[in-house]
Amino acid sequence: MSWSNWLRSRRVRTALLLVVAVVIILTLANYSSLPDRIHDLAPLANSSSPAVSAPNQGAKPNQDPVVGDVQWSDFAYVQYVTNPIYLCNSLMILEALNRVGSKADRLMMYPQEWELPKGDGSEVPYESKLLAQAKDVYKTKLVPIKVMTFTNSDPTWQDSYTKLLAFNQTQYKRVISLDSDATVLQSMDELFLLPPAPVAMPRAYWLDQPFLSSQLIVIEPSKDEWRRVEEATQHHEGSDYDMDILNKMYKDSCTIIPHRGYDLLTGEFKHQDHDKYLGNKDEKWDARQIMKEAKFLHFSDWPLPKPWLKPSESDLEHNQPQCWKVGDDKEDCTDRDVWLENRKDFSERRKVRFLPIRSFPESSHANTTQRVCGNTWENPRRDKRSILRARAPWFEPIFP
């Protein structure tokens, strides 16, 4: 049969048409999801090297779900604790990550001196109970560590080098370190899928000079990076804290995460000018809308204490956001209301009851339900990291 006769065959033509149709369908199906995949990494889409900076640091965060087949056990959210107060806060972060449906692992680094419950009914310290709750309720992997401390006149951050141990968690391809004086509002799993880079951080948008914010850090753990970080902590200058070390090491090579949505400060609601946060002068501030898009909210309200320390009524009244005049005879109190709601939410979640902890037999204590921390408020004298100071540290925002 000649080639021309072969092509005239009805069976051959039918088969060829079917093959072409299948190819077209598969091609369209593959490309239909391409815009979503590109959109997922839109802030860093123009990257060709680890030193990536988003064109608009005030861009709204991506709200789309992560697409594709991801091995989430390769990633982890990391908490570090050095005292019982911050153990409680870390537990609240873990609870929030669980509630918002984050898929990555959860890891908590805790002082190696603390004991885990043995499960034999014996009485255990407060710290042990909360560690058991992290493990049993929130499926957290517990890693005992030696607290990294350096002597300084201000004890506030003298244990903060411990945070940098996240660089040594090489059992994961990527980790996200979150400060615990904060609230997780939405899953941030998409940050695990940023283009490769040793470190990704948002900028401290409230400062006039460029400075990286260490409240949220995306890290690719490795022995080499950990060696560099450890050496930097051993040869730090004066009162360098963890954020100073990270800025000196990565200020020119860090992937920049848009601060908007990923590093919102509660102090922002006290301000009347929001250009730095919004990233432009044209957009109108809407506190409710900002909260809808926010994924990570950091409590920073100096001179008020952190929300687990109860302020006096007069301090609260004088340092909360104002109601702004709208027209001649109206006031807009949205900023104040949102700010108060966030503090109230934090306090109430500290005393919420959860499921029984299986690590503790009923015979060991009267009430088998375990609260997040047990109390709405903490005694300020117990928290060396939250003592009211005469002035704020230079890197903390001051919103009049």
Task: Report pTM.
Answer: 0.74
Closest CA relative to residue 100, chosen from 187, 175, 188, 183: 187
Average pLDDT of the chain, as a whole number: 77
3-class secondary structure, 94? helix
Tell me the sheet residues that pair with 174.
75
How far is CA 170 from its chain centroid? 19
Residue 215 and residue 182 in contact, taking contact as beta carbons nearer than 8 Å: yes
Residue 60 has pLDDT above 70, yes or no: no
User: Would you state the pLDDT for residue 100?
Assistant: 95
Pairing status of strand 369-371 against strand 353-356: antiparallel
User: In this predicted model, which residue has the larger pLDDT, 30 or 281?
Assistant: 281
Alpha helices in the chain (DSSP H): 3-8, 10-32, 34-40, 84-99, 126-136, 223-234, 242-250, 259-262, 275-278, 287-293, 313-319, 334-350
Helix (H, G, I), strand (E, B) or coil at 397: coil
Identify how many contiguous H helices and E strands the chain contains and give both numbers.
Answer: 12, 14
pLDDT of residue 387: 36
Within 10 angstroms of residue 92's Cβ, the number of other Cβ atoms is 22
Region 264-286 average pLDDT: 94
Which residue, among 137, 138, 139, 88, has the nearest Cα to 110 in the 3D structure? 88
The burial of 318, by beta-carbon neighbours within 10 Å (0-12 exposed, 13-18 middle, 19 or more buried), is given as exposed
Among 35-49, 122-136, 146-160, 294-308, the range scoring the smallest mean pLDDT is 35-49
SS3 202: strand
Helix axes 334-350, 84-99, angle to 10 degrees: 110
- Among 7-16, 47-56, 218-227, 313-322, which stretch is predicted with the lowest mean pLDDT? 47-56
Q: Has residue 394 got a pLDDT over 50?
A: no
Angle 242-250/223-234 helices, nearest 10 degrees? 120
In the prediction, which pLDDT does 305 show? 86
pLDDT of 32 reads 47
Render pLDDT for 170-191 as a digit per residue (tens, 0 to 9): 999 999 999 999 999 999 999 9
Under DSSP, the state recorded for 143 is E
Region 288-317: what's the mean pLDDT?
91
Question: What is the four-CA torsion angle of 384, 385, 387, 390, rounded to 10 degrees?
Answer: 130
Given a cut of 80, whether residue 102 has pLDDT beyond it is yes
Whether residue 255 is predicted with pLDDT greater than 60 in this model: the reply is: yes
Q: How confident is the model at residue 85 (pLDDT cuts 50, 70, 90)?
A: confident
Token digits of residue 186: 């939405």
Query: Is it the case that residue 201 has pLDDT exceeding 50?
Result: yes
Mean pLDDT over residues 331-345, rounded?
Answer: 95
Structure letter (DSSP) for residue 158: T
Burial class (CB in 10 A: 0-12, 13-18, 19+), 255: buried
Residue 252, C-beta contacts closer than 8 angstroms, at least 6 positions apart: 51
Q: Which residue has the higher pLDDT, 271 or 371?
A: 271
Lowest-pLDDT range of 106-110, 251-255, 366-370: 366-370
pLDDT of residue 259: 95
pLDDT band (50, 70, 90) for residue 9: low
